[in-house]
Structure 1
Amino acid sequence: MRIPRIYHPEPVTVGQQLTLSEDAAGHVGRVLRMGPGQEIQLFDGSNQVFNAHITHADKKRVQVQVVSGDVDDRESPLHIHLGQVMSRGEKMEFTIQKSIELGVNIITPLFSERCGVKLDAERLEKKRQQWQKIAIAACEQCGRNRIPEIRPAMQLAQWCAEEAPGLKLNLHPRASQSINTLPLPVEQVRLLIGPEGGLTAEEIAMTTEYRFTDILLGPRVLRTETTALTALTALQVRFGDLG
C-alpha cells in the first residue's frame, strides 16, 4: 500500500510524538485500518514532509512518532488567485479540487448577477469550511505541501476592486488575445471565471475599468467548471511548471 499523506494543522517537528486531528485519525484508523508500526507521511503547510510511524491507533485516536523531515517544494513559480463565481453543488467542489491539483494558490468564491447560488452568511461559512477540507484532501492526494486558501465569498465588484500585483485576466468570447499571446514573463495572475450564463455587459465593462485583460480560450463555449481548468492548465503551461 502506498504510504498515506496526512495533513496536520499544527507545526510538526522531528522527534515529536503527536496525536492526529479527528478527521485524520478517522481516515487512518477507521478507513485505512492502519495500526502501530505502520508508516505515514505528514505535512503541516510549511512546505516540508515528515516521515512518521504509528505508535497507537484506534477508531477515535491515532498517535504517531515523527522520525525525519525535509523540505519538498512542489509549488509552481506562477502564483494564481482564482476568482470563481459560485456554481451549484458538486460543480463548485469539483472546480476547487481540480484547481488545487493544477497549482492555484488562492480561491475566492464570488457572487455575480447571474450567480445561481443564494446562501446566507452562516451557510456560506459552512460551505467555506467544507471547501477548505476539499482543498486539504486535494493536497494530500496530489503531493502539494502548502495548503491553498479558500477565502470568504464576496461580491464580484469588491473582488475586482482589490489592489493586486501581476496580470488580471477575464475570459471573453470576443477577446482578441489568448493566453499564448500574452507577453512573458508573468509571475502572478488574478483569473476571473464567470457563471454558466456569463458575466453581464455591465460586469464586463467593470472588469475593464479595473484593468483586467480579456482573453479567449478557443472557439467552443465551455461550462464554467471546464473553463477554470482549461485556463489554469494553459497558464501553467505558458508561465508555470506544466509542459
Structure 2
Amino acid sequence: MDAPRIHHPQPLQAGQTVVLPPAASRHVQVLRLQPGDALTLFGDPLHGGQWRATITAIGRRDVTVQVQAHEAVQREPARAVHLAVGMPANERMDWLVEKATELGVASVQPLLTQRSVLRLSGERADKKIAHWQAVAVAACEQCGGNRVPLVQPVRALADWLADPVRTGLGRGLWLSLQPDVPTLARWAAMYPGPCHVVLGPEGGLAPDEEATLAHAGLQPVSLGARVLRTETAALAALTVLTLAP
C-alpha cells in the first residue's frame, strides 16, 4: 500500500527531523496514523519531486517526521496551462479547481466579469482563495501531483488585463474561449508551448469584454458547436492542451 501523501511546502533534506505544518499534522491525525508509519512529502520548492519520510512522534497538535530519501518523481504535463476563469457560482468553482488540479493546471486566476454571479471582494475573497488553495492541495495529495497549482487573488477582468505583472506568467499562447471561432484542438496541435486560457462565467463574456481580450492580443478559440458550462469548458480545454502530443 502506498504511503499517504502529505503537502509540505518547505525545502527538505535527508536525515532531517521536521514538525509538519498545522494542516498537514491534522491530516495525519485524521488518517489515524501512528509513529513508525511511512509518509510521502511533496511540495519542496527547491528540489521538487517527493520525499519518503517516517512519523517519529504524534502530539495533540504537532506531528514530527524524519525525512529519508528524495525521489525525483514528476507527474506534471509537458505543457504548462494557466486558466483565467470567470468564477462559476455555488460549489462549481470548488469542483473546477479540484478537477483542474487533477488534470495538471499550472495556475488558476479567478476573474470577476460583467456577467459573474459570484461577486467576491475583501475578506470574503481572501477566505475563498485560501479555501480553493486547500482544495488544490487535497487534489494533489490524491492524484499524485507534486506541484500544487497557485490559485491567484480574485481580479476584475479589466484590471487583470491591464496589469503588466500578468506578463510575469511567461510567454506563450494566449487564448480566449468563445463560440463560433476556430477550435482549440487546431491551435494545440500547432503550438506545443505554454498556454494561457481565459473563459467567462455563466452567460459567457460580454461582447465588449471579448473585444477587450482581442485588443489585448488573445486568440479566440472554441471547443466545438455545443454550449458548455464554465467548469466543463475549463476542463475540456485543459484536456485538449495537456493531452495533446
Calculate the TM-score normalised by the size of structure 2: 0.91
Match for 2:77: what amino acid? S
1:59-116 Cα shifts (integer Å, max 9, x gaps):
4221111121122122222111110111123100111111111111111100100001
Residue 181 of structure 1: SS of its match in structure 2? helix
Question: 1:206 aligned to 2:221?
Answer: no
Quote the offset at 1:153 in angstroms: 0.9
Q: Give, in whole Å, the separation in 2 of the partners of 1:179 and 1:45.
A: 34
Identity of aligned residues (%): 39
Q: Give, in whole Å, the separation in 1 of the partners of 2:2 and 2:242.
A: 28
Aligned pairs (5 A) from 1:148-163: 148-161=149-162, 162-163=166-167
Counterpart of 1:133 in structure 2 is: 134
Counterpart of 1:85 in structure 2 is: 86
Q: Give, in whole Å, the separation in 2 of the partners of 1:203 and 1:220.
A: 21
Residue 134 of structure 2: SS of its match in structure 1? helix
* Bigger mean CA deviation after superposition, 6-15 or 159-168: 159-168
Quote the offset at 1:118 in angstroms: 1.9
* Bigger mean CA deviation after superposition, 32-41 or 55-64: 55-64
Q: Give, in whole Å, the separation in 2 of the partners of 1:132 and 1:14.
A: 28
Residue 65 of structure 2: SS of its match in structure 1? strand
Question: 1:111 aligned to 2:117?
Answer: no
Q: Give, in whole Å, the separation in 2 of the partners of 1:139 and 1:65.
A: 22
Aligned length: 237
Question: 1:38 aligned to 2:34?
Answer: no
1:147-168 Cα shifts (integer Å, max 9, x gaps):
2111111111222344352111
Gaps of 5+ in 2: none
Quote the offset at 1:224 in angstroms: 0.7
Counterpart of 1:188 in structure 2 is: 194
Q: Give, in whole Å, the separation in 1 of the partners of 2:234 and 2:122.
A: 25
Gaps of 5+ in 1: none
Counterpart of 1:60 in structure 2 is: 61
Quote the offset at 1:140 in angstroms: 1.2
Counterpart of 2:184 in structure 1 is: 179
1:30-83 Cα shifts (integer Å, max 9, x gaps):
x21110111111113332211111111244221111121122122222111110
